[in-house]
């Protein structure tokens, strides 16, 4: 859960008085709160932690990181089904950690 993942802002909208965005993380799309970097524009990259953008990131670093995460299976870990993972942990024969 400590991870922060870079993603690209696809669109922004105000929801209940809060700036929200749809963000693309190497193919996975998520709703993200932009309230802490409100001047981000569509097409820019941000570092996202538990649904909140906490900093901007340049495109090249973002793409490098995303490629790395993809290769290591970290994106699936971050956005996969947490409950299923916890359940697996309790049943899998070699005690798979997520």
Residues engaged in binding another protein (CB under 8 A): 1-4, 16-18, 30-31, 33, 35-38, 47, 49-52, 54-55, 57-58, 61, 64-65, 67-68, 71-72, 77, 79, 81-83, 85-87, 89-92, 95-98
In degrees to the nearest 10, what's the CA dihedral of 16, 2, 95, 79? 40
C-alpha–C-alpha distance, residues 33 and 92, integer Å = 35
Question: Please, which residue, 10 or 86, has the CB nearer to another protein?
Answer: 86
Considering the complex, what minimum distance in angstroms separates the CB of residue 8 from another protein? 15
> What backbone phi and psi angles, to 5 degrees, belong to 69?
-65, -40
């Amino acid at each position: 859960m400590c991870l922060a993942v870079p993603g690209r802002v696809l669109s922004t909208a105000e929801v209940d008085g809060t700036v929200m965005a749809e963000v693309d993380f190497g193919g996975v799309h998520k709703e993200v709160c932009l309230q802490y970097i409100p001047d981000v524009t569509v097409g820019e990259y941000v570092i996202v932690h538990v649904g909140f953008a906490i900093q901007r990131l340049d495109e090249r670093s973002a793409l490098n990181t995303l490629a790395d995460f993809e290769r290591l299976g970290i994106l699936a870990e971050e956005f996969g089904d947490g409950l299923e993972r916890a359940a697996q942990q309790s049943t899998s024969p070699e005690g798979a950690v997520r």
